[in-house]
Chains A and B, each alone.
Chain A
Amino acid sequence: DEARAPAASVGAATAKATPAPAAAGKEAICTKCHDENEPTPLLSFYQTKHGVKGDPRTPTCQTCHGESEKHLKGDPNIKGRPATDVVYKKGAFAASDDKVRAGQCLTCHKGTNRTRWEGGQHDANGVACNDCHKVHQPADKVLSKKAQTEVCFTCHKEQRAQSHKISTHPIDAGKVVCSDCHNPHGSAGPKLLKKATVTETCFTCHAEKRGPFLWEHQPVTEDCANCHTPHGSNISPLLKSRAPFLCQECHDGPHNSKTPYGALSGGFQAVPPGSLAVPNENAAGRGCINCHSMVHGSNHPAGALLHR
C-alpha cells in the first residue's frame, strides 16, 4: 500500500552508523520513562525502519533528539524537565527551528530524492521533514497511497477542493497521489515536479501523447498545463476551459476560430424559443475538437489540421 518510488529507497540513509549494541543501551535511557504508558505510542517506533536494531545504521533517540543532557539530568531551577535538544512537535515545549529539525534528518538522509532539498520550496517555506513524516508511527501516512493526500492537503487546500470536482485524476480513490507527480524533497522541475518539465512528468503515464508527431500542436510540446489543470476541473477532461472558447484563447483567424459563439454552443436547448439559430458542429458539444480530435498531435500524413 505504500506510495512507491520508481525504485526502492534502500540506500536512503547512509553512513554515520551507530553500532546496534550501543544503540540498545542508549535507548534504555529514554524508554525508562517514555514507555508503553506514554500517551503517544512512541514504542511503535520499533515497527518502523528506524527501529530495526540489527541494522548498524539504526539511530537511537538521541541521534535525532540530541544528547539532551539537561533533559536527562533535570534542572532544579525549573518546574519539570527542560526540553530535549531538538523538539520536533510543539507540545509542552516550543518546536525547534525548521532548519534544525530538517538538519537532523538530513545528516543521514542525504542525496537521491533529497539532492535539491536546500533552497527548494518546502525548505524555503519553513517546512521540515517531521511536518509531513511521522517517524514513530508504524504507518507513516505520507508514505501510504490511501492516506498521503490527507497530509499534503493540510497545507495545499486549493488542491483539496479541486480534487472534489467532477473531473479529476483518481486522487480520492488513492490511485494517483501527490508523490506520483511531485517530489516534495526538492526538484529540478517547476512546482516540485519529479521530472524537469511538466510534459516529461505527464508523459510518464500518458506516453501516447509524447510523440514526436508528424503534426505537432505547439502548446502541447511546451506545457500540458497550457490547457489542462491537473488537480481537478469542472470541465472534463481536466480542462481549464472548453472548446471553442479554450481554442479561441490562442486562435483568432484560421477556419472558424474567429467566429464569436454564444448561447448557441449549448445546442437548441440553450437558445430562446422562436430563434431561427442553428447550432453547428463547430461550437456544440466538443466544439472544435469534434473534428480536430487529434489535438495532442497526429502522425497521419493527411493530418495537418489534426483531423485524422
Chain B
Amino acid sequence: AYAADESEELAALKRPTNSVEIGVDGVSKKSAKFGEYTGLDKSGAKLIGNFDIRGGNAYDGGGGTTRWSINGRDLGLTSRSAGATISNQGQWTIGIGYDELRHNISDTYQTPLQGVVGGNIFTLPPTFGYVGAQPLAPATVTLDATKLGAFHTVDVGTTRKNTSFNAGYNFNPQLSVQFGYNRLKQSGAKLMGSGTLGTKDVAAGGGTWRAEAISILMNPTNYQTNNIDLALNWIGDKGHLTGSYYSSRFSNGYDRFTWENAYKSGAAVSAPCGFPPCTYQTTTMSTAPNNDFHQLNVSGGYAFSSSTKLAGGISYGRNTQNAAFLTGNLTTVPEIPAAFILPQVSLNGLVVTRHADLKLTHQATKDLALSAGFKLNERDNRSPANIYQYWALNGNGGTVALPAGIDVATNAPYSNKKTELELAGDYRLDKRQSLRLAYVHEKISRWCNGMVLPYSNCVVVPSNSEDRLGLSYRLRTADGVGFNASYTYAARKALFNHDAVTPLAGLNLNVVAVTLPTDVNAQDYPGFAAHIYDSRRQHLLKAAANWQATEKLDLSLTGRYVHDKYDAYLGVQNSRTTGLNLDATYSRAENASYSAYMSWQRSRRDLRSGLSVPANAAANAGPSYAALLASVALNPLSIWSNQLTDNGSAIGIRSKHTGLMNGKLELDGDLSYSFDTTGYATQLQYVSAQCSPTNMTACGALPDIKSRLLTLKLIGSYQLNKSDKLGLGLIHQKLTADDYFYNAYLYGSAPLRIMPTNQQSGSYSANVVAVSYIHTFR
C-alpha cells in the first residue's frame, strides 16, 4: 500500500531498478594479451549477458527487513561472474558468489612437446631427434625440417574459478557471528623455464656450465585453495572484541611433471635416430606441494574515555607442509646419488606465525592527538634442517670427499621476527592547519633453527634496525584549497655476519670441507651487500595540492620523491623515484562532466658489482672475511656497474553525458594512453677491451623495453521507451610492445642452448563493438 501511493518519481528513488541485458560483442582480432582478464581473447561474436535483480519487503517502506538480490555479469565470456544474496537486515544474511578468469594466456607459444595443457606428462615425437652438439662458437639453434615440423602452437593459459559462500547471524545487538568460505580452483598451465642436461652426462662427472639447456614448459596449475573465515564479534558500549579462525588449505593435483629432453639421448650416445625411434631422457620438475595454514585471531578495542582508546590484536598460526619428496632417479636423469639415503621422506615442515599489535590513541587537548603503537610479527620456521646430496643439473659438484659431480647442501628453514614501535603526535595549529610528527623504530631479526655445521649461520645480515622520522603539514582553506606536504627520513642499519657460510651459496661446498674464506659472505664479492638488507638512508618527500577553483572546476597536483642511498661499497648504490600527477575535473552541468589526468614517473637504480675475486687473493687470504677483504682490496679491475631506468607516463580524458537527444541518450567516453620505458645499461669502467664492438659480451645498453597502450571506450545507452534501452559500446585498444625478452625464444635467434618457442611480445590492435537490449523494471 505504501508503494502504491508513491508517485512514479518517488518510486524511482525508493525502489531499486532491476535490469536484464542481452546482446552481442563482436571482437575484431584474436589476441591473448587483450583477452587476458577480459575474456575477449578470441575473435568473433560473444554473448553479452548481464542481469541485476533486487527485491524484498524492506523496499516497501514498511516494517519489512528482507532484501535479496541476484546478479550476473559477462555471462558469455570466460570472465563471467554471478552472485546472490538474501538477508533479513539486523538478523541474518547469506550470500553466494562465482567468478571466473583466464590469465597467463599465450596464443603464440610453440613447442615440439606433446601433451595436453594442464597435464603433467610431455613427450617428444619419436622422430624428433636430438638437438645435438653445443659448440662455443657464435651460433643459434639449428633445427632441421623434421624438428621444425614437430613444433605446434598451443593455447596456454590458466583458468581461475572462484566460488564463495558467506553468512552472518546476529544473536543480539551485541553478539554476531560471520562465516566465509572461498574456493579458488585453477586449471590449465603457466609457462616456466627449465634447465636440463645438455650433451654431457652428469653421472659421468665433470660437466660444465654450458652443459645446461633451456626448455620452456607448460607447468600445470592444477590447484585448489580452500579458505575459511569464522568470526565471533562482541560489541559493547565501551569495548569490542572479535575472535576468529582462518584456515587456508592448498592442494595440487600433481606432485610433479615430466618431459622428454631433446638435448640428450636416453642412451649413452646421442646417435642419429628417428628410424629406429629416438629414446630421450625423461626429466622431472617438482610442483608446489600441498600445504595448510590455520590461524587463530583475537582483536578488539576499548574506549577508556571519548578521548583515550586502545585497540589491538594477537594471532597464532601454524603453516604445515608434509608432501612426500620425489625420490631421485624416478626418471632417467640422475637427481639423487644412488648411495645417498634421504634423511627423511617428506619435509614435515612447520612454520609458526605470531602476531601482536597494540595502539593507544589519546586526544590530549582539543588540538593535540597522540598515539603510540607496537607491532610484532614472527615467522618461526621449525622445519628440520638436514644435509642433502644431489646431482646438479650440470654435474659440476664438489670434489672433496664425494664422487665427482655430486653436490651437498643443507636446507635453511628461514625464520624472522619484526618488531615495530610507533609514536605520533598530531597538532592542530588552527582550524585549517595541522602538523603531524611521527617516529617509527623497526627491528628485524633473522635466524634458522637446527642448522647443520659447517653452515655457521644461514644469513649474512642477521638483523636490521631502522629509525624513521616524519613531519607532515596539512592545510584546508575555506575557499576549497587543500595542501599536504610531508618529509620522512629513514636510516636503516644492518648488522652483518660476513663470515656466515650460507646454505644456498654452497654450490661447491662439501660438508666435510668448507673452503674459507671464499665461501663466506654468501660467496658474494668482498664488500657486496644485498640491497634489501643493506644499511640505507632514505629521504621521502610528498606533496599534494587540491583546489576547487569554482563550483564546477576541481584541480589537483600531487608529487612524490624518494631517494635511497645504500652504504655497501658493492651492491645497489642508490635509487631515486620521482612522480607527478595532475588531475582536473569540470562539471559543466548536472548532466555533463569531464575529467582529465596526467601521471609521470621516473625511477633510476644504480648498481655496482665485482666480477670475481682474483684467485691469488683468495688463496693468500686468511681464514676470515676480513682477511679476504684486505687481500682483495676491492680490485678496481673487477668492478662493473649497471643502471636501471624506468619511465612511465599516463594520460586520460573522460566524459560523462546524460540526457542527450531529448533525454534519451547516455554516453560515457574514456580515452587513455600510457607509455612505459625500461632500460638497462652496463659499464665495465676499467676493462674496456671487453666492450669492443666485436666482443660485446659484458657491457652496453639493452634495447628499451617499451609498451604503449591506447584505449578508447565509448559506452552508451539509448532509451527506447520507459523500460527498454539499447546498449551500445565501442572499444578500441592498441598495445605496441617492444621487448627484447622474446628475442631469445625466436626461431633463428634463439641461442644454442635454448629451445625456441617463437613467442611474440603480445602487441595487438583490437576493436570491440557491442550491441545489447536492456530491459529495466521495478
Binding site for B on A (CB under 8 A): 1-2, 4-11, 14-15, 17, 20, 36, 39, 41, 43-44, 46-47, 49, 51-57, 90, 94, 110-112, 115-116, 118-119, 124-126, 138, 157-158, 160-162, 164-166, 170, 172-173, 175, 188, 196-197, 199-200, 203-205, 207-219, 221-223, 226, 234-235, 241-242, 245, 248-256, 258-272, 274-282, 284-286, 289-294, 298-305, 307-308
Bound complex: CA A298 to CA B313 (Å): 33
Q: A234-B676, A280-B753, A291-B193 are in contact. Are A36 and B13 (CB under 8 A)?
A: yes
A299 interface neighbour in B289, B446, B707, Cβ under 8 Å: B289
Bound-complex Cα distance A9 to B177 (A): 9
Given contacts A1-B71, A290-B193, are A301 and B325 in contact (CB under 8 A)? yes
Pair A212/B347 contact, Cβ less than 8 Å: yes
> What are 16 A-B pairs at a CB distance below 8 A?
A15-B173, A47-B14, A55-B90, A112-B233, A126-B476, A166-B707, A217-B504, A252-B570, A254-B524, A262-B700, A263-B696, A278-B137, A290-B754, A302-B335, A302-B390, A308-B285
The residue in chain A whose Cβ has the minimal distance to the Cβ of B295 is A200
Contacts A4-B164, A10-B178; A158 near B579 (Cβ below 8 A): yes
Nearest 8 Cβ contacts at the A-B interface: A11-B176, A267-B743, A291-B195, A111-B240, A10-B168, A7-B178, A284-B744, A285-B744
Contact call B694/A275, Cβ cutoff below 8 A: yes
Q: Are B73 and A268 in contact (CB under 8 A)?
A: no
Given contacts A4-B164, A269-B749, A272-B693, are A165 and B414 in contact (CB under 8 A)? Answer: no
Residue of A196, A199, A280 touching B357 (CB-CB under 8 A): A196
Q: With the chains together, A157 CA to B458 CA distance in Å?
A: 40
Contact B599 A263 (CB under 8 A): no
Task: Give B17-29 as 1s and 0s: 1 = Cβ < 8 Å from A's Cβ atoms.
Answer: 0000000000000
Measured in the bound complex, the distance between the Cα atoms of B62 and A20 in whole Å is 10
B79 touches A262 (CB 8 A): no
Bound CA span A51–B58, Å: 8
Taking CB atoms, residues of chain A closer than 8 Å to B30 are: none
For window 378-418 of B, CB contacts with A under 8 Å fall at 379, 381, 383, 388, 390-393, 407, 409, 411-414, 416
B95 an interface residue at 8 Å Cβ cutoff?
yes
**Are A188 and B375 interface neighbours, CB within 8 A?**
yes
B349: CB under 8 A from chain A?
A: yes
B656-674: CB near A (< 8 Å → 1, else 0) gives: 0000000000000000101
With A39-B590, A46-B13, A197-B377 given, name 20 new contacts (CB 8 A): A1-B52, A1-B83, A46-B59, A53-B62, A115-B301, A126-B434, A196-B315, A212-B321, A213-B321, A222-B444, A226-B532, A252-B609, A253-B522, A274-B693, A284-B744, A285-B743, A291-B212, A304-B409, A304-B504, A307-B195
Is there an interface contact between A11 and B168, defined as CB atoms closer than 8 Å? yes
Could you tell me if B288 and A209 are in contact, using CB atoms closer than 8 angstroms?
A: yes
Closest CB of chain A to B5's CB: distance in Å?
13
The CA-CA distance from A284 to B744 in the complex, in Å, is 6
Enumerate chain B residues within 8 angstroms of A272, measured Cβ to Cβ.
693, 696
Q: B611: CB under 8 A from chain A?
A: yes
Stretch at the interface among B149-157, B221-229, B716-724: B221-229
Which B residues are in CB contact (< 8 Å) with A170?
Answer: 36-37, 101, 103
CA distance A28 to B252 in the complex (A): 59
Q: What's the least CB distance linking A250 to chain B, in Å?
A: 4
Q: Establish whether residues B103 and A258, one from each chain, have CB atoms under 8 Å apart when the complex forms.
A: no
**Contact (Cβ within 8 A) A214 B325:** yes
Contact among A15, A256, A281, A284 with B237 in the assembled complex (CB-CB below 8 Å): A15
Q: Give the residues in chain A near B299, CB-CB below 8 Å.
A: 115-116, 188
Closest residue to A123 on the B side, CB-wise? B361
Give every chain B residue within 8 A of A276 (Cβ-Cβ).
138, 694-695
Tell me whether B325 and A6 are in contact (CB under 8 A).
no
Q: Are B524 and A252 in contact (CB under 8 A)?
A: yes
Question: Is there contact, CB below 8 Å, between B14 and A46?
Answer: yes
Residues of A within 8 A of B622 (CB): none
Q: Nearest A residue to B757 by beta-carbon distance?
A: A285
- In the complex, chain A residues whose CB is within 8 Å of the CB of B242: 111-112, 115
Question: In chain B between 622 and 681, which residues have their CB closer than 8 angstroms to a CB of chain A?
Answer: 640, 642, 644, 646, 648-650, 672, 674, 676-678, 680-681
Within 247-286 of B, Cβ neighbours of A (below 8 Å) are at: 248, 250, 252, 284-286
User: In the complex, which residues of chain B have a beta carbon less than 8 angstroms from the beta carbon of A115?
Assistant: 240, 242, 299-301, 311, 313
A305 to chain B: which residues have CB within 8 Å?
392-393, 407, 409, 504, 507
Is A278 within 8 A of B700, CB to CB?
no
Contact pick for A54, options B65, B474, B484, B697, CB 8 Å: B65
A7, A124, A203, A252: the one within 8 Å of B179 (CB):
A7
Contact: B504 with A254, CB < 8 Å?
Answer: yes
Q: Which of B166, B350, B522, B751 has the most CB of A within 10 A?
A: B751
For residue B126, CB closer than 8 A to chain A, the reply is no
Given the complex of chains A and B, what is the CA–CA distance between A286 and B216 in angstroms? 10
- Find the residue from B169, B195, B737 having the highest chain A CB count within 10 A: B195
B residues near A39, Cβ cutoff 8 Å: 590
- A15→B355 contact, CB < 8 A: no
Contact of A252 among B323, B412, B610 (CB under 8 A): B610
Given A14-B173, A43-B10, A248-B609, A175–B101 Cβ distance below 8 Å?
A: yes
**Taking the nearest CB of chain B, how far is it from the CB of A213, in angstroms?**
7
Question: Any chain A CB within 8 A of the CB of B208?
Answer: no
- In the complex, what residue of chain A is closest to B477 when comparing beta carbons? A94
Chain A CB within 8 A of B194 CB: yes
Collect the chain A residues with CB atoms within 8 Å of residue B312's CB. Answer: 116, 188
In contact, B696 and A275 (Cβ under 8 angstroms): yes
| Interfacial chain A residues near B194, Cβ < 8 Å | 290-291, 293
Q: How far is the CA of A94 from the CA of B480 in the complex (A)?
A: 9
Contact bitstring B427-467, A, C-beta under 8 A = 1, else 0:
00000001010000000101000000000001100000000
How far is the CB of A306 from the nearest CB of chain B, in Å?
8
- B240 contact set on A, CB distance < 8 A: 110-112, 115
Q: Is B89 located at the chain interface by the 8 A CB criterion?
A: yes
Q: Which of B210, B309, B599 has the most CB of A within 10 A?
A: B599
Are B674 and A164 within 8 A (Cβ)? yes
Q: Are B37 and A308 in contact (CB under 8 A)?
A: no
Question: Is B703 part of the contact surface with A, judged by Cβ < 8 Å?
Answer: yes
A residues less than 8 Å from B189 (CB atoms)? none
Distance, CA A210 to CA B89, complexed state (A)? 38
> B772: shortest Cβ distance to chain A, in Å?
16
- B321 contacts A274, CB within 8 Å? no
Q: What is the CA–CA distance of A275 and B138 in the complex, to the nearest angstrom? A: 9
Task: Give the Cβ gap from B112 to chain A, nearest Cβ, in Å.
Answer: 18
Q: Shortest beta-carbon distance, A98 to chain B, in Å?
A: 9
Contact across chains for A285 and B754 when beta carbons are under 8 A apart: yes
B residues within 8 A CB of A8?
Answer: 87, 93-95, 166-168, 178, 180
- Most chain A CB within 10 A, of B90, B180, B426, B749, is at B90
Interface contact A255-B754, CB-CB below 8 Å = no
Knowing A258-B525, A281-B753, the reply to whether A11 touches B178 (Cβ < 8 A) is yes
Q: Is the CB of B173 within 8 A of A17?
A: yes
Which chain A residue has the least Cβ–Cβ distance from B506? A304
Closest to B198 in A: A281
Q: Which listed residue (A54, A161, A278) contacts B648, Cβ 8 A?
A: A161
Tell whether, in the assembled complex, residue A260 and residue B640 are in contact, meaning their CB atoms are under 8 Å apart.
yes
* Chain B residues near A51 (CB-CB < 8 A): 14
Given A7-B179, A263-B701, answer yes or no on A212-B381 (Cβ-Cβ < 8 Å). yes
**In the complex, what residues of B have CB within 8 A of residue A112's CB?**
231, 233, 240, 242
Instruction: List the B side residues contacting A6 at CB < 8 Å.
Output: 166, 180, 182, 227, 229
Q: How far is the CB of B480 from chain A (nearest CB, A)?
A: 7
Given contacts A110-B240, A253-B523, A302-B390, contact A285 B16 (CB under 8 A): no
- Cα(A282)–Cα(B90), bound, Å: 61
Cα separation A188 to B295 with both chains bound (whole Å)? 15
Complex: A59 Cα to B475 Cα, angstroms: 32
